[in-house]
Chains A and B, each alone.
Chain A
Amino acid sequence: MNQNKHGLIPPKFRPVINRELCRRCKRCILSCGFEALTFENGVIGIAGECVACHRCITMCPEGAITIQKQPLDYRDNEYWTVEIREELYRQSESGGVILASMGNDKSFKSYFDHMVLDACQVTNPSIDPLREPMELRTYLGRKPEKVTVEKDKQGKFQLKGKMPANLLLETPIIFGGMSYGSVSLNTHKALAMAAKNCGILMNTGEGGLHKDLYPYTDHIIVQCASGRFGVSEEYLKRAAMIEIKIGQGAKPGIGGHLPGEKVTAPISETRMIPIGTDALSPAPHHDIYSIEDLRQLIYSLKEATEYKKPVCVKISAVHNVAAIASGVARAGADVICVDGFRGGTGATPKMVRDHVGIPIELAIAAVDDRLREENIRHQVSLIASGGIRTSADMIKAIGLGADAVAICTAALVALGCHICQQCHTGNCSWGIATQRPELERRLDPEWGGQQLTRLIQAWSYELKEVLGLLGVNAVESFRGSRERLRGIGLSELELDILGIKHAGR
């Protein structure tokens, strides 16, 4: 059968060049990581290659490019959607699982979009954050149930004993785990710089820590995942916190795969694997087959770091997440990161991404409730991640009970990502999700660091505004205060799980 190189799958997008405006400078051609533009007596857009990443239109000095959906009408069918039909074409050609990236993009209900916030009127004046102090400082780590004091020689009260290791965040946001390998070194550098500027943390993901990031030790969370890439004594020393990754929202229950072609020399060194070999993270940790094994790993890491660093355990939001979190807290974790099903990834089977796991809003509410019922909430800090898009999502997650949120996709968007969902191809034109040197160097880490710093600053301002209109001047007075949230268009059961009332009540 005669087919074009895309087989049965019709082209999706086409760059359209306005010939009158085009100066033929070819910047667009150089910009495209997907070879969707070529030059023959002028620039030509190639349908089928374009992924709508918008790098070319951003770089075009003349505004001569538009990206259009390739018009293609299918016979209407609400059941056999176009997406399903194209997936079937693709699978019948490849015989394999369909790879995808970023997070679940299906039209599941977003609970964030069905919650609204309270505001002060009359009896409790709202507070102007530009005139009054507004405190966002947040500590991640285990807290004792109560404080004990004693009198010193002068008769003044002082703290008796020592507090467990905690990490100070100037604002309740961290950059979530994205491995060096899935993203470029410059992306990591930008994240680390911004974390330092903002007094927050960045998570290395499972790909180890490049030496260039050593100066950012106080702002680094290193991950210890099932592949154990890059885990060494030095690695643990170079971090403020250690995270054991059990699960990830984009691919709960499965491991990871960084193809050998992405394992370049610096990645090989950082991950401690040979150049060009596939970096496979097993689905389970091969030394964790139950909760008591997790406990051993938590305490091994604590022993190795002399109990000076909190240990976080990251789990995917799945059906029984509340009970799992309770077990993890009892196993000795100081911080639990719950990753919802909208969470992103550099590569995952599309079927898993789109059909496994539960929304972070429900998960965080259930976990917070459960830990409170068991009176162990103080033993762990809760990080909500997986689909936090805006400061509003962050604020609602905190209202439901999260101590802080982790953002990944939102951070990448600040670096230029247009969510074209092609991370798994390694061709990222923005220099983010790629290891191709000519693409990677496009991302200026200084500029990226500034972009991210401003993003965190903007969200922090917005959080302060909201705290002010809620009439409180410290984020902990809103954290878990579900009384300040109301649901709109939610069933009684959904409201019950979220622990909020419906608007009007």
Chain B
Amino acid sequence: MVNHNYQHESSGCGLVGIISTTGKKMSGEQVLRAVAVLHERGNGLGGGFAAYGIYPKYRDFFAFHLLMDTAESKTAVEAYLQEHFIVEHGEAIPTRNPSERYPQYSSGRNLEEILPEITPPAIWRYFCKPKRPEYSTDGLTDEDYVVQGVMHINENIDGAFVISSGRNMGVFKGVGYPEDLGHFFKLEEYEAYTWTGHARFPTNSQGWWGGAHPFTLLDWAVIHNGEISSYGINKRYLEMYGYKCTLMTDTEVVTYMLDLLIRKHGLPTEVALRAVAAPFWKDVDRMSEEERKLNEALRMVYGSALLNGPFAIIFTHSRGMVGLNDRIKLRPLVAACKGDMVYMSSEECGIREICPNPKRVWNPRAGHPVIARLEDGVK
């Protein structure tokens, strides 16, 4: 039987995204400073970061970041990974000693004060390759195989949760204010060409580490401010393609939807974005014949993939970053650029904190994406 018993939660949030389109690496300090300015947009019940380019040594391996509540869940995860993957390396993700001094951009509380409230699970990373014959007959790509693995762990192993699974990237997230979590995860020690940061204000969270943003699948990572009012049908649509929405938050459907449209259905990013934030019919009716045909077809086929309700999202992947608003811009999103840097944030102040004089600052139009890509040739 179909399981209809799901509940989902919603939240308001602050967002920051930074990308160097030339692939120049920067430490986590910038994104931490920016997200600290957005303090009021969070309530201490969730914060997180995505970073791209942080594992050059293991660039060919899928980096599984895992949250594990118990020793049993860790044993089960490791057994599963050993059976289905070649595990090149596994280690606890380094975290700061609580007694260390906190930097100025944190919430002002010492980690020693904070940690008892937020009790972190075991946080580990494993660098893996699919363990499968070279000429496999299952018809799956390596990516499909990894997705299956992620879905399996999240669904079937109690207390274990994969927070990211892409190559040469990773997600750091948990319960707390993001600036404190960044400090906890020692983000200043990582070098990445793309960073996103998120401050969360959940309306009904039990304070679960896995519930914080970003949400990821492979190298997709999504941070999100808003609520997907079309969650119910988006979820049912994704279920037809084997996605299991286990996290009970609407941001998850954004991640899976983009994965489905871009990776599985092979749509170019800008076309996929037109499916999830479709232009209004009144605008489509005025387009040229060819353009109208494409937009009409997208809407006919992907009506159930339309993301409706208030949202501003920043989604990132290995080759770029995209900011997108809902069709009537019910949530703030600001973009800016300077040199090879592109910034996006829910507030301009988040950008000004780390780039006081951007060349250009603008408010992207409702439903119109801002797309930043690594330049061709940048590895």
A residues engaging B (CB < 8 A)?
A: 120, 122-125, 127, 132-133, 135, 137, 139, 143-149, 152, 156-159, 163, 166, 369, 372-373, 375, 377-378, 470-474, 476-484, 495-496, 499-501, 505
B-chain residues with CB within 8 Å of residue A378 when the two chains form the complex:
301
CB distance A471 to B2 under 8 Å?
A: no
Which one of A133, A144, A159 has the highest number of Cβ atoms from chain B below 10 Å of its Cβ? A159
CB distance A147 to B11 under 8 Å?
A: no
Of all chain A residues, the one with the shortest Cβ separation from B290 is: A158
CB distance A147 to B301 under 8 Å?
A: yes
CB distance B229 to A149 under 8 Å?
A: no
A-chain residues with CB within 8 Å of residue B275 when the two chains form the complex:
147
Contact with A along B1-36 (1 / 0, CB 8 A): 110111110111000000000000000000000000
Contact with A along B220-246 (1 / 0, CB 8 A): 000000110111110110011100000
B-chain residues with CB within 8 Å of residue A147 when the two chains form the complex:
265, 267, 271, 275, 294, 297-298, 301-302
Q: Does B71 contact A (CB under 8 A)?
A: no
Q: Does B121 contact A (CB under 8 A)?
A: no
Of all chain B residues, the one with the shortest Cβ separation from A371 is: B240
A-chain residues with CB within 8 Å of residue B293 when the two chains form the complex:
158-159, 163
Which one of B266, B268, B302, B309 has the highest number of Cβ atoms from chain A below 10 Å of its Cβ? B309
What is the CB-to-nearest-CB distance from A364 to chain B, in angstroms, rounded to a whole number? 14
Q: Does B330 contact A (CB under 8 A)?
A: yes
CB distance A471 to B267 under 8 Å?
A: no
Q: Does B280 contact A (CB under 8 A)?
A: yes
A-chain residues with CB within 8 Å of residue B241 when the two chains form the complex:
375
Of all chain B residues, the one with the shortest Cβ separation from A152 is: B290
What is the CB-to-nearest-CB distance from B284 to chain A, in angstroms, rounded to a whole number? 9
* C-alpha spacing A483/B290, complex, angstroms: 36
B-chain residues with CB within 8 Å of residue A480 when the two chains form the complex:
232-233, 236, 304
CB distance B308 to A477 under 8 Å?
A: yes
A-chain residues with CB within 8 Å of residue B229 when the two chains form the complex:
120, 124, 470-472, 477
**Contact among B1, B232, B302 for A483, CB-based, below 8 A:** B232
Report the 10 A-B pairs with minimum CB-CB distance, sorted nearest first: A483-B232, A476-B303, A481-B232, A477-B308, A477-B230, A471-B229, A124-B227, A481-B233, A472-B308, A146-B265
**Contact among B5, B7, B230, B300 for A163, CB-based, below 8 A:** B300
Q: Does B327 contact A (CB under 8 A)?
A: yes
* C-alpha spacing A157/B229, complex, angstroms: 29
What is the CB-to-nearest-CB distance from B149 to chain A, in angstroms, rounded to a whole number? 22
Of all chain B residues, the one with the shortest Cβ separation from A154 is: B290
CB distance A149 to B267 under 8 Å?
A: yes
* C-alpha spacing A334/B166, complex, angstroms: 40
Question: Given A132-B328, A147-B302, A149-B268, does the pair A473, B233 have CB atoms closer than 8 Å?
Answer: no
What is the CB-to-nearest-CB distance from A465 to chain B, in angstroms, rounded to a whole number? 15
Further pairs besides A147-B302, A149-B267: 7, Cβ < 8 Å: A123-B10, A147-B298, A148-B266, A149-B271, A163-B300, A474-B308, A499-B2
Interchain Cβ contacts under 8 Å between A and B, 9 examples: A120-B229, A133-B281, A147-B297, A166-B300, A375-B241, A377-B240, A479-B303, A482-B4, A496-B4
B-chain residues with CB within 8 Å of residue A377 when the two chains form the complex:
240
Please tell me the number of chain B residues within 8 Å of chain A, measured between CB atoms.
54
B residues engaging A (CB < 8 A)?
A: 1-2, 4-8, 10-12, 203, 226-227, 229-233, 235-236, 239-241, 265-268, 270-271, 275, 278, 280-282, 290-291, 293-294, 296-304, 306, 308-310, 327-328, 330
Of all chain B residues, the one with the shortest Cβ separation from A149 is: B271
Question: Given A152-B290, A474-B306, A481-B230, does the pair A501, B5 have CB atoms closer than 8 Å?
Answer: yes
Question: Given A125-B330, A157-B271, A479-B303, does the pair A499, B233 have CB atoms closer than 8 Å?
Answer: no
* C-alpha spacing A147/B302, complex, angstroms: 8
Of all chain A residues, the one with the shortest Cβ separation from B230 is: A477
Of all chain A residues, the one with the shortest Cβ separation from B295 is: A159
CB distance A482 to B232 under 8 Å?
A: yes
**Contact among A123, A470, A482 for B203, CB-based, below 8 A:** A123
CB distance B290 to A135 under 8 Å?
A: no
What is the CB-to-nearest-CB distance from B103 to chain A, in angstroms, rounded to a whole number? 32
* C-alpha spacing A157/B295, complex, angstroms: 10
CB distance A158 to B10 under 8 Å?
A: no
**Contact among B233, B301, B330 for A477, CB-based, below 8 A:** B233
CB distance B303 to A478 under 8 Å?
A: no
What is the CB-to-nearest-CB distance from B245 to chain A, in angstroms, rounded to a whole number? 11
Question: Given A123-B11, A139-B300, A157-B271, does the pair A478, B233 have CB atoms closer than 8 Å?
Answer: yes
* C-alpha spacing A500/B278, complex, angstroms: 28
CB distance B310 to A125 under 8 Å?
A: yes
CB distance A149 to B12 under 8 Å?
A: no
What is the CB-to-nearest-CB distance from A366 to chain B, in angstroms, rounded to a whole number? 10
B-chain residues with CB within 8 Å of residue A132 when the two chains form the complex:
328
CB distance A133 to B300 under 8 Å?
A: no
A-chain residues with CB within 8 Å of residue B297 when the two chains form the complex:
147, 159, 163
**Contact among A124, A146, A152, A476 for B233, CB-based, below 8 A:** A476
CB distance B300 to A472 under 8 Å?
A: no
* C-alpha spacing A338/B298, complex, angstroms: 27
* C-alpha spacing A146/B271, complex, angstroms: 12
B-chain residues with CB within 8 Å of residue A373 when the two chains form the complex:
2
* C-alpha spacing A375/B231, complex, angstroms: 19
**Contact among A133, A146, A472, A484 for B282, CB-based, below 8 A:** A133
CB distance A472 to B309 under 8 Å?
A: yes
* C-alpha spacing A476/B280, complex, angstroms: 13
Of all chain A residues, the one with the shortest Cβ separation from B278 is: A474
* C-alpha spacing A146/B233, complex, angstroms: 17
What is the CB-to-nearest-CB distance from A200 to chain B, in angstroms, rounded to a whole number? 16
Of all chain B residues, the one with the shortest Cβ separation from A500 is: B4
CB distance A372 to B240 under 8 Å?
A: yes
A-chain residues with CB within 8 Å of residue B265 when the two chains form the complex:
146-147
**Contact among B227, B235, B266 for A123, CB-based, below 8 A:** B227
CB distance A471 to B310 under 8 Å?
A: yes
* C-alpha spacing A484/B230, complex, angstroms: 9
A-chain residues with CB within 8 Å of residue B281 when the two chains form the complex:
133, 135, 137
Of all chain A residues, the one with the shortest Cβ separation from B302 is: A147
* C-alpha spacing A478/B300, complex, angstroms: 15
Which one of B265, B275, B294 has the highest number of Cβ atoms from chain A below 10 Å of its Cβ? B294
B-chain residues with CB within 8 Å of residue A472 when the two chains form the complex:
229-230, 308-309
